Every structure is written in structure tokens, then in C-alpha cells.
Amino acid sequence: MRENGGGKGYAPAMADAAVTMLRWDAAGATDRGRVRRRNEDAILVRPERRLFAVADGMGGHAAGNVASAVAVETLERAFPRAPSPRIGAPALASRINDAISLANQAILDRSAAHAAEAGMGTTVTVLSPLRADAACVIGHVGDSRAYRLRSEGTGEGFMQITRDHTWVQQQVDAGALDALQARAHPWSSILTRVLGMEQLGPADIHVIDVRPGDIFLLCSDGLTGMVADDEIAALLSGSGTPAGICAQLIAAANRNGGRDNISVIVLRASL
């Protein structure tokens, strides 16, 4: 298991803000699982840039690795430092969307230049906390996911933020399949949108409010395909560090079969 940013936190340095300044503790980990020969996922954990992402690559030969790596490298280049502390949600959303478009183009260019990598693609789910507001911005394409766990008593609980860009999700939206049928469907992994597509269009963008105690999870489908939502929520609400929770999530997916690569990033907001 490769770990990144284990337990590192960063406290806001701005002294003049009256708004709630949240501290974020984050860690990420990615694992090959128990079946696949390679790990084609990639994660990005850059607390100092307020940038976190999961990418799940696909393609023949080693091309899936290339696609997910190109995606996270492009995001890193697009955010060489943390955005201005005063940036608002619309401006940050626009920057994230632009970075995802750049990543899409970089994958298309690389596919065009290397025949063995033609047709490769990757999901991407990016999260960047705002400094000036108690909120974060999430950009998303594909079937990796972002969730928020809000502590008990609020009635809000565990929420899936992103909507999968999959054929089965379209069927669920149309009322043709229910969630259980979708989960078991043989076409459950067919993606309708992915980086590496011509005419991708804008990414899905979510601006999500954050309260102290909230926990965010970014993950690839190697977690959500193996571990039920209530078990994920139970592990997230444990008392461990983000790095410890990442290890437990990966262990749970592997215990349940580990049929795919597993990537997780856990972020905890506090005062």
C-alpha cells in the first residue's frame, strides 16, 4: 500500500478572517487489490495546495496507468500553489473545471501520439477546500465518488455528493433500475463520461458546505464496488486518524474480494 500525506494537517494562517477557519487533516492511500496485476488508479494529496484528487484509469496494456497519471500531473501543474485565500466558490469552480479540461486534452494528445495508448481514459474526482468560506469545491467526471459524513444528530448523515457517469446510473435516473439492481448489473462499470473523450463538456461541479467534524471521502469504485455504504460510513466515523481510516477502508475492500484497485482520500475538517 502506498500512502501519501499521512496525517499531515495544515492550519490556516490568515489572521483577519471573521469567518470560520477550518483546519483540514487529510491522508490518502491506493492499493492494487487482490486480483488486478497493476494499480491503474492514481491519487493526489497536496494539503499545502488545498488540492486532493482520485483518478481511476482504464485502457489496454499499461495505458490506464498513463491516463490516471497524466490526469493528476495535469491537475498538479494547474495548481502549482494554493489558490488565493480569498478566492470564492465560483472562481475556484471555474479553475477546477479548467484544470479538468486541460487533463482531458492532455490525455487525448497523448493517446493521439502513442498508438498503444489510444482510447485510454480515466475518471477524476477533485476536491479543494475554500479558505474564505466554510465550503469546498468538488469537480467530477466518471464513477469515482465523493461523500460527506456529518456527525450523528444532524439528520444529514452520510451523503454521496457525486453522481456516477455510468450507464446504470442513467437507468436508475430513468426509473428503469433500482439501486440494488444497478449494483449487481453486468454493465455496472460502463462509463458514459470519462477523461480522454472528445467533446467531454464541463465537469460536474459541486459546492458543498463544511462544518467542523465533517469527514469527506474521495474514492475509486474499487472501494464502493466492494464495501457497502453503511460499512464505509461506520469506518469513517471511527476515531482513528485519516491515514488509519484509509488503511481500514482498503482492508475492508480487500477482505470483501479486492477485485479492483482501491483508492481512498479521507479529509476531516475541524476548528
Least separation, in Å, of the C-beta of 36 and Ca ion?
9
Site string for Ca ion, 178-217 (x = CB under 5 A): ----------------------------------------
Residue 143 in the binding site for Ca ion (CB under 5 A): no
Q: DSSP class of residue 195?
A: B
- Sites for Ca ion among residues 218-247 (CB under 5 A): 221-222
Closest CA to 146 of 9, 252, 53: 53
Task: Tell me if 89 sits within 8 A of 137, measured CB to CB.
Answer: yes
Least separation, in Å, of the C-beta of 222 and Ca ion?
5
- Size, binding site for Ca ion by CB under 5 A: 4
Least separation, in Å, of the C-beta of 167 and Ca ion?
15
Among 31, 133, 164, 260, binds Ca ion (CB under 5 A): 260
Residue 133 in the binding site for Ca ion (CB under 5 A): no
Rg (CA), the chain: 18
Residue entry with cell 485510454: 120
Closer residue to Ca ion, CB minimum distance, 85 or 225: 225
Task: Tell me if 261 sits within 8 A of 54, measured CB to CB.
Answer: no
Helices (H), the chain: 63-78, 89-113, 167-173, 179-184, 221-224, 229-236, 242-255
- Sites for Ca ion among residues 33-72 (CB under 5 A): 56
Q: What would the grid cell of residue 232 be?
A: 464505509
Residues in contact with Ca ion by the rule CB under 5 A = 56, 221-222, 260
